[in-house]
Chain A
Amino acid sequence: MSARMTALESLTRTTSLDQLQTPAKSGGCASSSCGSPSQPNDVNSAAWEKIKDHPCYSEEAHHYFARMHVAVAPACNIQCHYCNRKFDCANESRPGVVSEKLTPDQALRKVIAVANEVPQLSVLGIAGPGDACYDWRKTKATCERVAKEIPDIKLCISTNGLALAEHVDELAEMNVDHVTITINMIDPEIGAKIYPWIFHDHRRYTGIEAARILHKRQMLGLEMLTERGILTKINSVMIPGVNDEHLIEVNKWVKERGAFLHNVMPLISDPAHGTHYGLTGQRGPRAIELKALRNRLEGGAKLMRHCRQCRADAVGLLGEDRGQEFTLDQVPGEITYDASKRETYRDVVARERGDYITAKNDAIGMIKDAGSGGSLLVAVATKGGGRINEHFGHAKEFQVYEASAMGIKFVEHRKVEQYCLGGWGEETTLERVLAVLEGIDILLCAKIGDCPKHQLTEAGLRATDAFGYDYIETAISTLYAAEFGAEPLPTRA
């Protein structure tokens, strides 16, 4: 298996086409995956075609594909209590934050530069820092220019929904297949606590009247997108004491109107960000509160659990942000698109992921068949490809999976400060990592030093690199079998 791993990894590193292809060929087809099912069990084929390369719409795709956002739409028609529009910062990572705003032409250059360098790139998103539908001329110009140069890139926009309905037809014409609407309420009384004002029809509305208009426009926009077969993701910000319970109702409403995914995100309200909520002491939810709410929503509109709440100018795989490598001053004034890296990468992924999905389905089937009542919470250090392929000390986040009678499910990711920067770990950092890993039974990584391993063991957390470079689900099923006395899967490949 590690030979094939090299194939995928080297694709994202090397530069010449020859180098890319040699390891790719040697990967071969080691398992039953040729021509076999290449889609997860829980989505239908038409939707799978649309989401299979979209890292946000498909948890499975996020192991392989990357998105980039271009900050071309800074104007907004709403004020939200969790947003401070005066805030620009290079080091912060959260929605709405950017370090440079771009014109559509600058955006095009940047997209080409990234497409040439980052073979995983599959999606271009426009997510503010304002509203993509309100700042429409720039959004449209950017989408059109990029689609002309890179026809296979997926276009994706984020909006608060207020100005969405008037652009739905153009979105459909432009082949925008994915639209995210932030919907935090369906009850205007609650909306009035989140939105101080909106700008609509050439005037400012406040209070309940504002929230009522916003609600109507959001529902209309969502219904229109559903009618046209455009996939929608609903983002909701969980604000404890304001809309936390209410989101259960929101989930029902958006499901009825055809929303494809519901992404419930925690409020970020650090006072240093200067938002209304930050300054008035409104707290964000604790991780367990978020998890509990998500569990209660299970069975409604399908949930997204792997969102990273990215910056409005993020670049790369979801768990990483390479935005700082592609600031405008690093992008050449004249640049032409070179499709070779992306194409080669896609070929290899097509083969590799078929193998992964088969392995994953086998592993999940095994656990379900085992019929044991036990459950395990497993943290995984990974940098993509569905494999345990990140060193403990290099991990910036751990992906958390739950193995139970229901199978193996991705439940969340947990961010950590890197334990080891340049080989030296600090004691206090390890303590913080331990705090982040609270409740985890087993940690899987590609490599871990004896010292941190020992300290983790002392803290009651088993960490192992015995499954380094294996598929995540395969490793988890083996552990599960050992733990609860089930029959492990026969060794593959």
Chain B
Amino acid sequence: MSFRIIASQCTQCGACEFECPSGAIKFKGEAYVIDPDKCTECKGAFELQQCASVCPVPETCVPAEL
């Protein structure tokens, strides 16, 4: 399981990139994207997903199946 970023909402601030403990977030083209193979949902590292906790736009870093 992984998180994903809704590109149309992303402000490209990059905060999620440097908070991600798994190095799963990179800037590609227009927005930041999450590599589903690397994303651990922050399990074992933090209580809550860092990308979703720091992102300034609500509902932008969300579980991938949504």
Contact = CB atoms under 8 A, between A and B. Distances in A.
A394 to B, nearest CB: 37
Nearest to B9: A86
Given A203-B53, A204-B53, A204-B54, A74 B13 contact: yes
Interface residues of B, number: 16
A85 B46 contact: no
Nearest to B50: A202
Contact of A75 (B9, B14, B47, B48): B14
A74 B11 contact: yes
Contacts of A134: 15
A226 interface: no
Given A75-B18, A79-B56, A199-B54, A85 B13 contact: yes
Contacts, number: 45
B57 interface: yes
Nearest to B48: A203
Residue from the set B11, B47, B53 with the largest chain A CB neighbour count within 10 Å: B11
Given A75-B18, A77-B54, A204 B12 contact: no
Q: Which of A85, A137, A202, A203 has the most CB atoms of chain B within a 10 A radius of its CB?
A: A202
B18 A137 contact: yes
The bracket for how many chain A residues form the interface is 10 to 19
A191 interface: no
Nearest to B52: A204
A135 B50 CA distance: 15
Nearest to A131: B15
B14 A74 contact: yes
Interface string B25-51: 000000000000000000000111010
Contact of B13 (A76, A137, A203): A76
A202 B56 contact: no
Closest 4 CB pairs of A and B: A75-B15, A74-B13, A204-B53, A85-B56
Interface of A: 74-77, 79, 85-86, 101, 129-130, 134-135, 137, 199, 202-204
7 contacts: A75-B13, A85-B11, A86-B9, A137-B18, A199-B53, A199-B54, A203-B53
